[in-house]
Structures are given as structure tokens and as C-alpha cells.
Chain A
């Protein structure tokens, strides 16, 4: 039975994974139905167990590879006949977890059970040194379960998100979190600290701009030892928009001559090269095409839109022919996701929506329908996009699963999200 489900799942993905700009309107109803059972001892903190359960079920749902049962079920870890065969609930799989706390160590014993045969398909033990980071333990478990059924990787769930949030006038904080905001740790506070950007894929260091000195200054913070290093200062404004694949070059938006342009900064040689020379606004540079090219936002047509330029050449190419205010962009391989204002007025129901295009086809796919959807960022795979949503005074992190055509929101309780990276 499980094999058939897996085969069908693969078949489903092979059908619609060719072009992410093509929207799936009918989903195959073949995803395995899965129940989550809490088999922790009664002495374990019930609050933690329920939060853990909630994150597991949420992750299963966001993966879009399972149909999770939302009921909070308890069981023994070994399992009785009634616990191993959930015939009444018509489920295919059971994910059973047992949490154990040992001082600050959190251990999770996890079983994946075939609910039709009662057979334990897999058993794995996980542990985490810091109990506060339990959301990452839950994400790791679901990434593992997902791998077991052979579905496309959802390893992005383990990526750290870094974001800046406004907490007051000229005041912001930089926070590291998981994608659901269940875990949050403030790492820079006091004054105006904005535009955090991971320094590399390992997420061991990040860049950010401090507005607390005489000039806006870009710093790099090493998370392993907490050391902060000044990279560059500039008059007017300074943003680290992107980091090259090898981590050696930065795309900066800065204005040493009062003019916001895209600059390439070589960290090895401390060399700054001006990439764009337009008298209006050029911002938000992104490396594309193996770092040979940059896409960026410019108002050179009289409104913000998306353009590209190959390093070393002078030609500028318009990338998007839709919308009259495309003010934020991110790219991965041949896909471009951007935020577009739907109306020229500042009023109106639909304000900023996200769109996805492929540089190889003419399709445009609308990804959101209401609110202000800004700052889209691809995950390390091109099936998942993180973005900021502001809707009715609520600021949220949004996640879009392109192949499944689903989006999820994770609201921030305090503050307004300024920018994100992951």
C-alpha cells in the first residue's frame, strides 16, 4: 500500500514539476494520511508536548506531501493493537514520538508505523542540546519522515530565518528564527539595525546595516564567536542586497555620491565597483546566472521595474513586462519572483501581490491575492518562497509551496517585519 502511495506521489510530481509558473488547479488525492501520536511519559511537560505536536502537524501540512490528522492522540511508545491500527480514522501512517527531557537536553524517539499492518517502518532517535530550540527538532523529524517516503526534499524547513523588525521610531531588532516563528532569538538590538543577510549557505554569519553611527555602516557578525567586523560605511544609505555563491562578493545598494546605485564589493581585495550608473533609483541587486549577471529594481522607465545587466557589459535588459510598480525581486536559476503594486493609488483592496515568472517561458503566475506581500525570497530549493505579508495591522512571515499551490502565514506578535533572509 505504502509503495503504491509513494509511486503515485512520484508520478504526481513528475507531472507538475516541470514549470513552477504553471499553476496546479487539481491536486491528486493520493497523499498519505498520517496521524501523530504523543507517547511521552506523563511526567513530561504537557505544554511542551502539545506545542511539539502542533509543529509536527503544521510541518506535515506545509510539506504538502501528507494529509495530517489534526487530532492530538496519545499512546504508549510500544503501542497496542488499537494504537497501531487506526482503522476507524482511516489513516495510512502513524508518526509516534516520545519526548524526554534531561536537564537542557531534549530527546525525541520517533517511530513511523504502517497503520494498515501495524509494522514499524522506521525508528530514529533525535536529540537537541538546547530545549528552547525544540521547533528545529520537530522540523528535523518531519524532514526525516518526508525523506523516508521518498518525497521531494523539504530540507528548507531546517533553514534559519533572519529578519529585522521595527519596534519603534528609528528602532529595530534583528532576530533569528525558524520559518514558523515558533523559535525566536533577538541577536541585535538598540537603535536602527536593518537589512540582515546571511553571509553564506551555512548560516554561520550575517551582514547587516547599522544606522547608529555617523554614517550607515555594514557589519558582518560571526555567530560562532559573536565577533562583529566592519565591512564598509557609506553616506546616505547602505544595503547588502545579495551575497555571491562563494561568499566572496556582495551586491550593495549605496550612494557615495548621493545617488543610489548597485555596487559590487569584493571582500578579498576590498574593491568596490559601481555596476549601475543611472540618475534615478537602482536598488535590490541579485546575483543570477552563476553570478555572471545581476537583476535589480530600477525606476528608469518612470516606475519601479526589474532589469538585468551582465557584469562587464554596459547593456541593460528589461526582465518584466507586467505591472506598473515592481519594487522587490528575488531570483533562483531561471525563476524570478517579484512584488507588484496592483494600483497606482495608495488605496484599494489588492495592494502588493507576488508574481512568478520563468526567463524561459512567457507565463506569469500570481502567487498571492490580498494584503501587502513583499520581499519574496527563494529557499535553497526553488519550490519554496518566503515573504513578508502585512495585512490588517498584522505582520507575518509567509511561505509559498509552489508545486502544491499552497501558502501559509506565521504572524509576528510584536513589531513590523522590515526585511528577511533565509
Chain B
């Protein structure tokens, strides 16, 4: 009995401490694949979020409150994303910069919408994420229909008359991107010779590679993540298939090259023009590099999501997420490390800028 009372007293004390802390501090979070096969992106988000929070706190915080960063790990698993979202809500988080995978962001956004949490995804490009009309969903990246239409037109123009295969991994992101690319490519007058789904998470893609060889393809478009795209590209080259590999923004990680090695040479992908090279980012990029972090991929996107949210809170004069959401949509453009960003009524950025990148010799650069 005594022991039980002690435990109750201790947990009450712990609760008191944590709520006490929450009053002086404002909790925000970044959530993404911190573990699992897409952990490389989670690490990018974490790096960007940590730096953004440190910078904002050093400048006096938001509305006089210091930010506290929580990290949520969804492993890109939709079910885990929902439980992580609930956990973050339980810890009193008011804003989430995340998630990474579209398949996670969409179900998590429902939890956040109900619980009054604002969400700005740095990376989820599936149209459904903002199309479903929730008040709380924003993104600082583009959409797959924009990305896919640029990729589709590019393929139709540069590989006119060639044999194109479109592969996807059946994920919200992968299939969405593959379908948009196919639509744009067909509209521009080029039909694919093969449209095929593969199973993510495997290692042996030799059967698919032989199928590509049999179809005698010149171009392979990947709607999927870098792990599988990298493996298939590598196995294609080992088999002597020289088709050009083209992918989406998920290939923007050095891990792609680690998987392919020299086999990845010449791989093309769509991504926003390199934020590291923009004038607005120069100072932050220098500080990342001073800490030995390359602000590649989604580092600056996550930084920008938090930066824009903090500015909107300041402008709104309140942390009330619904009010902040209105301010975000109506009072742009917002200055960020990505440059000036405005949101439309759905929460999408108004001017997406997808360009083509190419992998050469272990690094990627604009085509």
C-alpha cells in the first residue's frame, strides 16, 4: 500500500514538472522515418529541425517562449505514423514539421486536424495530403502532379520514340508519382511499353530486370524511394542493361549513390532547384557546414517549415493553430531559407520549381 502511494505521488510530481515546463516552453515536433530503411531522410529532417529551433531560441524564441523540439519516429509506416501523431499530441505539441512519407503524412494529418495541431510537411508530395481539404495541412515542397507532369513532359521531349518503362512501389508517393508522370507523358504523345509495380523492401529484383531487358527499354522511370530504385539500377547495370534511370525527389540522398556506386552514373531525377545555392540560404548553409552537416535533401525544407511557422505565430500574435493557419494562407509571402514562399487556399506552395538533377561521380547537380 505504501509503495502504491509512493508511486502515485512520484507520478503526480512528474506530471507537475512536465506541465510546469510546458507553460514556459512551446513544444513543437518533427516526425519522420528516424529508423527503418528511409532513416537517411529522418536524419535530414532532424538536422534541419534542430538547427531551426536553436536559431529561433537564440533570437529570443516565439512570443517570448522558448521552443522545445520533440522527435517522432514513424519509420514511414502509416500505422506507426498515427500512433506517433497521438503521442505527440499527448505531449502537448502545437506544430509538427512532418511527416516525410506521404503515406504517413496523410493519416497523421487526420489526428492533428482533430486535436488542433498545425502540420507543415517538408517532403510529402502526394496531392491527397492537401487535397482532402483539412484546415491544418501545409507543405513547403511541391506536389506529385507538378513533379510528374514535368517529368512526363521531359521524357516525352528528350526520349521521343524511345521505349520507356514506368515502375512504381505501390506506395502513396510512388504510385502517385508514376501515374502523374504516365499521364503527362501519354498526353505529350509517348506511350510506355511497360507499367509495372514492384515490391518494396526486397533485395532481389533480377526477375524485373530481366523483364526490362526483354522489353528492350531505353528509359526506366521509378515512382518509388531510393533504396529500391538504387537496387534495381545496380542490378540493371550488372546485367548490362544500359537504360537511363529517372526518378523523383526521393532519390535526392547520398544514400542512393552508396547503394548504386558507379552504376548510378547518369541517373536523372526531379527536385526543386538546389536550396543550398539560393542567396536566402547562404548564411544558414555556412553554419550547417561549419558543424559538418551537409544540408542536402530535406534539411533546409524542414528548417524552412519551422522558420515559416514561427514567423506566422509572431505575426498572428498567438499560438492558436487555427489562427496561425489562416495567417499562413493570407499573409504571405514568407521569407525563409528556401526563398519567399506563399501558400494557396489548400496549403500548397504557389510557385513550385521542379528542375532535373543528374547523379555524376557520387554527387548530384542541376542538369
Q: Do A and B bind each other?
A: no
- Which residues of B line the A interface, CB within 8 A? none
- Which residues of A line the B interface, CB within 8 A? none
